[in-house]
Amino acid sequence: MDLKKSHIEFVLNHKKRAVDIPSQASALFVIREILGLTGTKEGCGVGECGACTIVVDGEAVNACLMFAAQLDGCEVLTVEGLGKDGTLNRLQNTFLDNHAVQCGFCTPGILMSTHALLEKNACPDDDEIVKALSGNICRCTGYQQIFSSVKEACSNGQEAFDD
């Protein structure tokens, strides 16, 4: 068993964090089990489902495949960082309005992949949306409501994602 610890400092959901971690721990483990942010889900644990998607320095990544040590010095966003003061942001509300959430297990990861896409490209075309969400598996919705939500968020303009 590896008992070595590492110390990392990074910005998580707009706040500076410093934490000692087991040196071989995944980003997912540290976010959920050490920092207590359980919005990020563990599905497959091997990079196949996208339930663990977080945004690191603007890129959507699978937290289950990333060492937590790699977060050092990074800007990290999880689903808890999308809204403010306990309220949902407009992108999240668009998912609700379009019934894009059923069991909800995939939803945090899909929101984070969508957020990363829209931060780079406020008006993605259909192919770009499909490609951005291709790593996120949903077993409930059939994807159409999710796709409709992203399209509606796009039609609302960039301000839809900023709060």
Residues interacting with ligand FES, by CB under 6 A? 42-45, 47-52, 62, 64, 101-107, 138-141
To ligand FES, the closest distance from the beta carbon of 6 in angstroms equals 21
Map tokens 């008006």 to a residue.
123
Residue 73 burial by Cβ neighbours in a 10 Å radius (0-12, 13-18, 19+): exposed
Nearer residue to ligand FES within complex by CB, 142 or 157? 142
Nearer residue to ligand FES within complex by CB, 28 or 74? 28
43: nearest Cα among 106, 100, 89, 96: 106
To ligand FES, the closest distance from the beta carbon of 144 in angstroms equals 12
Count of CA atoms in the C-beta half-sphere (13 A) of 132: 28
Q: Which residues, 6 or more positions from 131, have their beta carbon under 8 angstroms from its beta carbon?
A: none
To ligand FES, the closest distance from the beta carbon of 109 in angstroms equals 8
Provide the H-helix boundaries in 58-102: 90-97
To ligand FES, the closest distance from the beta carbon of 63 in angstroms equals 6
To ligand FES, the closest distance from the beta carbon of 15 in angstroms equals 24
Nearer residue to ligand FES within complex by CB, 26 or 89? 26
Nearer residue to ligand FES within complex by CB, 1 or 27? 27
What are the beta bridge partners of residue 16?
11
Nearer residue to ligand FES within complex by CB, 24 or 158? 24
Q: How far does Cα 72 stand from its chain's mean position?
A: 18
Q: Strand, helix or coil at 123?
A: coil
